[in-house]
Amino acid sequence: MPKGNAGNTYQPYQPPVGGRDLLPLDVVQKRWIEDRLEEVFRRWGYHRIITPTVETMDTLMAGGAIERVEVIELQIGQVGEQRLGLRPELTASIARAAVTRLASVTYPQRLYYNANIFRRSAKGSQGGQQEYHQAGIELLGSSGLMADAEVVLLVADCLKAVSLSDANIVLGEAALTYSLLAPFPEEMCSAVRQNIADLNRVGLETLPLSDELRSRALRLMDLRGNPADVLMTLKNGFDLDEQQQELVSRLQSLIDLLSVRNIPAITLDLSLIRPFDYYTGIVFEVVSNQQRQLLGQGGRYDDLLAVYDTASTTDTRTTDKRGFPGIGFVLNIDQLHQELVPSGELPSETPPSDWLIVPKGKAAAAAALDYAQKARESANLVRVELSLDFTQSADEVRAIARKRNINRIAWISDQGLPEIELVN
């Protein structure tokens, strides 16, 4: 038989590699999570934004937030035409929309999204999931301490809404960490950052560094734990310049502001960096305590929106970009679902219908249709099913209703008169 790309036996009419079907119960559980997150977003004053599933490669790659190998590109049109890709994340799309479509609105702008994304494994694996579901927010136009606090408190509120208030928030400061990496030679900085990001102690120890720089790299990787202890180690173990001291002071103010709020435990981790330049201030991850899954991540990106401002390239009178600060986070619905399944918090079955409408023979078909429609027009949601088989006996209809957990049967005569029967 022909083989699939992943080396497995090809099976026709199955989802493509990396895709999967969500059956009704999966959808009910996913919606349970999404509805609670959306309610929190709206309570905090955020408005939903919907951006295209397909973006130009220029948009997806401009911010440096994703590696090209992770983007699923589309083959459309002739060679040389605009290159397109499936969105691997939402922040780039929202940044583009903010600069090109929201230029005249007042700021700050509070936006949220709930969407699917598509991402290929950066390591070239041809198996595994490639479509994911995410919900998140972007707070655009504010760079102060209050904005940072709002976003961290908002993610904590989201965790509480889905009954995961015991998850851990790991907080870092990208600008501070990058500045602490400045003494490393330019040709070694990328490798040092990558090993610190991967918490790869062996990798750091084997890099061709001086004893002083190797010790510094290892101390940087160990700046993780209780916020007060980490900040004390940082102040005592590193010779901080004025700018670094200012960043530490702001980080201390944020931690003080968060510490008096009822939020999940915060771990301060100054080794929390990505191998590329994207975040410019606080960064954070949300990690579950039960399965140690990465449930979400976020941070400040004050340089991103300027990338999408083309005004300076079309107007030779100015070299200024119209970028403005931004901060946001994303929660991974798939990981939240996996985390919540064992907890018993999610619905265990699809909701049953409230009524089964049964015509008493073919002559009652029109009356049954009318009766069912009137029931569906109730001010509150009423789930109504219509019996479609005239040949079923009354006992067979009752058995179906019991199996489907339908509480009421309405037997409809050809005159439209209902006979109500309680089944369950």
Two structure tokens written together for 39: 């309610």
CA Rg, the chain, in Å? 27
- Single out the residue in 269, 303, 335 at which a domain terminates: 335
**Residue 328 β-bridge partners:** 138, 299
Residue at 116 is within a domain: yes
> What integer pLDDT is reported at residue 385 of this predicted model?
96
Do 310 and 329 lie in one domain? The reply is yes
- Give the CATH number for residue 191: 3.30.930.10
- Can you spell out the DSSP letters for 185-223? -HHHHHHHHHHHHTT-HHHHHHSS--HHHHHHHHHHHT-
Rounded-to-integer distance, Cα 41 and Cα 137, Å: 8
Residues 6 or more apart in contact with residue 366 via CB below 8 angstroms: none
Do 133 and 175 lie in one domain? The reply is no
The 10 Å Cβ neighbour count of residue 7 is 8
The 10 Å Cβ neighbour count of residue 297 is 20
pLDDT, one tens digit for every residue, the chain (424 residues): 444 444 456 678 787 777 789 999 999 999 999 999 999 999 999 999 999 999 999 888 887 777 888 898 887 766 557 889 999 999 989 988 988 887 778 889 999 999 999 988 655 444 567 899 999 999 999 999 999 999 999 999 999 999 997 899 999 999 999 999 999 998 898 899 889 888 899 999 999 999 999 999 999 999 999 999 999 999 998 999 999 999 999 999 999 999 878 787 899 999 887 655 678 999 999 999 877 899 999 999 998 888 887 654 444 444 444 458 999 999 999 999 999 999 899 999 999 999 999 999 999 999 999 999 999 999 999 999 999 999 999 999 999 999 999 999 999 999 999 999 999 7
- Can you spell out the DSSP letters for 275-316? SSS---SEEEEEE-SSS--EEEEEEE-TTHHHHT--HHHH-T
Q: What own/partner pairs with CB < 8 Å and gap ≥ 24 does 11-17 have?
A: 17/126, 17/127, 17/130
Residue 133: phi and psi, rounded to 5, are -120, 135
Strand, helix or coil for residue 55: strand
Residue 292 Rama label (left phi>0; alpha psi -120 to 50; beta): left
- Single out the residue in 255, 287, 319 at which a domain terminates: 287
Q: How many domains does the chain have?
A: 3
Do 32 and 134 lie in one domain? The reply is yes
Do 114 and 21 lie in one domain? The reply is yes
Do 328 and 400 lie in one domain? The reply is no
Residue 52 Rama label (left phi>0; alpha psi -120 to 50; beta): beta
Do 133 and 108 lie in one domain? The reply is yes
Do 311 and 257 lie in one domain? The reply is no
> What integer pLDDT is reported at residue 78 of this predicted model?
62
Do 274 and 367 lie in one domain? The reply is no
Q: Which domain holds residue 274?
A: 168-287
Residue at 5 is within a domain: no
Rounded-to-integer distance, Cα 46 and Cα 104, Å: 18
Query: In this structure, are residues 182 and 64 in contact, taking their beta carbons and an 8 Å threshold?
Result: no
Rounded-to-integer distance, Cα 416 and Cα 357, Å: 11
Rounded-to-integer distance, Cα 173 and Cα 282, Å: 4
Residue at 326 is within a domain: yes
Residue 73: phi and psi, rounded to 5, are -85, 150
Residue at 118 is within a domain: yes
